[in-house]
Amino acid sequence: MRDVVDRWRTSGARGAAVFFDMLTGLRPVRNVLGVSDPDVHKLDGRWVMFLGGMTNRLKVQLFTATLPIGAPLSSGEWSLVTDPKRPTRAVPVVPLPPKGEWDSRGMHTPSYVRGRQPDGTTEERIYYAGHSARAVTGNRSRYSIGYLRRTATGWSRYGPPVHAGTPERPSVLEPLVRYDEGLWRMWYLSAPHEVGPGEMPDYQLEYVESPDGIHWGTPEIMFTTVDGFFDNAVIAVDGHYEMVVARGTNLHGTPNFPEQGLWWLRSPKPSGRRSDWTDHPVRLLNSEVEPLPWFANGGCGPAFHYGDTEADRDTMYIFFTGTRRKINWFAHAVRRLLRGRRPPVPSPFHLATGRIEIPGMRVGDRPEQIGVPADRRE
């Protein structure tokens, strides 16, 4: 899996931007401390980003951010959707679930999808990972997958989880759901639990199919624990499918943690079979070598699209959440206070959500031309 090639750097590493950063705050928003796991879609002619966000009540809820109407994907003008009467308050997609529910402690990693039910009706959903335990990481954390559905009055919880773990691997999280060729398709992380301080990851990406997005078939293993991938994104491009995968970030700064980065694969179909995808994933980002500060400890939660203008149709925009290296919080807080700024959120780790861009990634049926400028392709 080691690959010295980093397509972002070989393309010039010019395109990178941070939109939401725990270290500097989400001004003007005050009720959300940090966001992660961007899920980006163009809905009704406007780019929308679904995110999980830690609130000032220390619960994780789902939020949205948008670009201005008519803005292209290359724009950096992302802003959280706020209450029109209270611009410092980001509006959650749905209220917190009732106490005691399976997802009452947090709703993470949203995945928007529009699909068709067996009766022919179309439904919009946001799948997410939820948990009821107080622990977010470590061996006491447990996650299941459920969804929200869009109604005439907004989004609402479906209710019970629709996918859960096994006794050997009790947590399922990081859902990525698509509707293709008449089936609901879900890739997700299977793990004993979310990694805690000092632990090494035990990650396995699995895949299931369903006729209705509620009752799922037998899981297939897409990536094994040896591969160590944490989550992925899949899009349809020019008659084939492309995937970006990430390792789980080194949240706790654990020594000898697996190499971090982003990798790319392609397949002729939206498959959960590893053999249908690129034999050797192409490394898009190596965050082990001189990383930017906002993804110094790795990146996760990828979403990607190609540009939506003629000028950048071959450019891949990859959105993800990076983990900063551990900081001396007290020293950092003093420096910010001396500059008249608020201190950073006191947290064991600090996340930032942003984007990198890689020109020359859209190559149709000739993957060997990846990264070659259009005017130099054979």
The DSSP result for 203-254, as a single string, is -EEEEEEESSSSS----EEEE-TTT-EEEEEEEEETTEEEEEEEEPP-TT--
Report the predicted TM-score, pTM, of the whole model to 2 decimal places: 0.94
Structure confidence at residue 248 (pLDDT):
86
Domain boundaries, the chain: 7-376
Structure confidence at residue 3 (pLDDT):
52
* Cα→Cα distances 172→114, 184, 303, 307, Å: 22, 17, 19, 32
pLDDT tens figures, 91-112? 999 999 999 999 999 999 999 9
Low-confidence ranges of the chain (pLDDT < 50): 1-2, 377
Q: In terms of DSSP bridges, do strands 46-55 and 60-66 run parallel, antiparallel, or are they unpaired?
A: antiparallel
Structure confidence at residue 1 (pLDDT):
42
Joined together, the tokens standing for residue 348 give 């064991």
CATH topology (fold) of 7-376: Tachylectin-2; Chain A (2.115.10)
Cα separation of 206 and 354, whole Å? 26
Cα separation of 115 and 123, whole Å? 6
In the block, which residue shows the tokens 């951010």? 65
